[in-house]
Amino acid sequence: MSLLAQFCRQTHTERLEYCDGFISETQEYFFERSGRIFELVYDFLTTGHFHRQGEICHERLIKELDFWRIKKSFFAPCCMPLIDVSEDEEDGQNYIKSIEYGDQFEGVCWAAQRRKLWAFMEDPSTGTLAKAFAIISITMVMASVTGMILGSLPEFQTITHQDETNGRKETVFRTHSGLEYLELVCVIWFTVEYFARFLVCTTKNRFIREPLNVIDSHTVYFDIFKGLGAHTIGEFRGLAMVMRVVRIMRVARIFKLARYSSGLKSFGVTVKTSLAELSMLFLFLLTAIIFFSTLMYFAERDEPNTKFRSIAHAGWWCIVTMTTVGYGDYCPQTFAGKVIASFASISGVLVLAFPITMIVENFSRTYDTEKSEFKTVQRRRRLAKIYG
């Protein structure tokens, strides 16, 4: 449904959330958009097909249609746009707006209350209490990650017991009790927060599949699993490794900060919309690595005490060289090897430059869109308070 069609079905208060102004004398709503293109939008509302004018800038037209939520498929066959708007970019825009979940609360039980609770937990800009909730959530994330970091230091570990296995003494360490209590508080908060979001939302399947919610659910399940087996699982060697993986998963909570950071959110959208560029980067690197590592292996294999014992060993050197890391653990000794290394270094810079430039451009465009939409939402909320 287009924005204009949805606007016609809304109440006066709801319309004030979308429009940029309201003239009470003439009972007219105002949108700060192109009036020329709006004529085409209104024509689409009445006819069901969008007819474009050739002299309108394509980029301007696409931006206006994004605002009015008119998809490319709605164009009339005689007026199909010349600009190819990729499906990845459309998915990225939908992901940016996913916090609103469209009209998911229309027609559901307790719609008004659930919408307020959802905004309270998802959008800190809706009020003071929402900001306080976001601050508490961020504090819990940072406390959990900080506790995990401190728990790895010897100063915050205690010796529980020592085992003798095959004549060797094995010391078993345990995290300080204060850090364990801190982790317990964080686990309770994350569990309550996740299930509260799950109960309030209406599209359960979509909620479960979202990346941030997948991280939340997995960390919660791992914490519950760890809590149930904390006292007995250490007695089994095989399951001890599972517990170690569970502890590692705690670091995934740092990604929860993306819920409150437009920069991190834009980065996630950029990764999603740049899959083609990332695939091209991976293909370029793989081709160059196989090529140069093979050359290096045959150039260096006859040298005494060479570290290039196989193409796989040379591949590690090639990855480090082409990405300009340069650990220095592998160095060519022959003249031919040094020539190959020179070409590999230059090729690495060229291979990385082209796709990364496109990825940076995608990030810049996504971040600018995020900031623009945030300012638009804030302005409409202020207007709703004035005219509401």
Domains and CATH numbers, the chain: 3-85 (3.30.710.10), 120-260 (1.20.120.350), 275-377 (1.10.287.70)
Q: What local confidence, expressed as pLDDT, does residue 37 receive?
A: 83
Residue 85 has pLDDT above 60, yes or no: no
Q: Which of 60-74, 87-101, 145-159, 315-329 has the lowest mean pLDDT?
A: 87-101
Structure tokens at 226: 């760890």
Dump pLDDT digits (tens) for 116-164.
888 888 888 778 898 999 999 999 989 988 988 888 888 887 766 555 5
Least confident piece of the model among 12-26, 83-97, 304-318, 351-365: 83-97
Is the model more confident about 381 or about 181? 181
Is the confidence at residue 27, as pLDDT, over 90? no
Q: Cβ-count burial of 38 within 10 angstroms (0-12 exposed, 13-18 middle, 19+ buried)?
A: middle
Per-residue confidence (pLDDT) for residue 170, from 0 to 100: 59
Query: Between these two residues, 301 and 65, which has the higher pLDDT value?
Result: 301
Region 344-373: mean pLDDT is 84
Mean pLDDT, the chain, as a whole number?
A: 78
Q: Which of 70-79, 93-102, 320-329 has the lowest mean pLDDT?
A: 93-102
Percent of the chain with pLDDT over 70: 77
Q: Is the pLDDT of residue 388 over 70?
A: no
Give the chain's largest Cα–Cα span: 92
* The pLDDT of residue 204 is above 60: yes
First-to-last alpha carbon distance for the chain, in angstroms, is 25
Distance CA 325, CA 200 (A): 47
- Output b/e per residue, 172-193; b: 16+ Cβ within 10 A: eeebbeebeebbeebbebbbeb
Residue 157, strand partner residues: 175
Cα angle for residues 125, 195, 203 (degrees, 5° grid): 75
Instruction: Establish how many alpha carbons lie within 13 A of residue 275's alpha carbon, considering only the half-sphere containing its beta carbon.
Output: 9
Mind listing the pLDDT tens digit for each residue in 238-279?
555 666 666 677 787 888 887 787 777 778 788 888 888 888
Closest C-alpha to 6, from 76, 103, 113 = 103
Looking at 91-165, which runs of residues are DSSP E strands?
Answer: 157-165
In this prediction, residue 143 carries a pLDDT of 92
**Residue range 157-200, pLDDT digits in tens:** 776 655 555 555 656 667 788 888 898 898 899 889 989 989 98
Both tokens assigned to 210: 């979202």
Give the pLDDT of residue 99: 41
Q: What is the rounded average pLDDT of the residues 82-104?
A: 45
288 pLDDT more than 90: yes
Dig out the tokens for 171 from the structure: 């010391």
Whether the pLDDT of residue 42 is over 90: the answer is no
pLDDT score recorded for residue 330: 87
User: Whole-angstrom Cα distance, residue 330 to residue 221?
Assistant: 43
For strand 168-175 and strand 21-23, is the pairing parallel, antiparallel, or unpaired?
Answer: unpaired
Q: What is the pLDDT of residue 299?
A: 92
Higher pLDDT, 237 or 66: 66
Q: What is the C-alpha to C-alpha distance for residues 167 and 236, in angstroms, rounded to an integer?
A: 19
The 3-state DSSP class for residue 281 equals helix
At residue 98, does pLDDT exceed 70? no
Distance CA(266)–CA(276), nearest Å, equals 17
User: What are the structure tokens assigned to 280, written together?
Assistant: 């091209």
CA-closest candidate to residue 266, choices 125, 361, 330: 361
Q: What is the pLDDT of residue 12?
A: 83
User: pLDDT band at residue 101, thresholds of 50, 70 and 90?
Assistant: very low
Mean pLDDT to the nearest integer, 98-122: 71
Q: Given the structure tokens 């970019």, which residue do they identify?
A: 89
Does position 103 have pLDDT exceeding 50, yes or no? yes
Q: What is the pLDDT of residue 294?
A: 95
Predicted confidence at residue 84, as pLDDT, reads 44
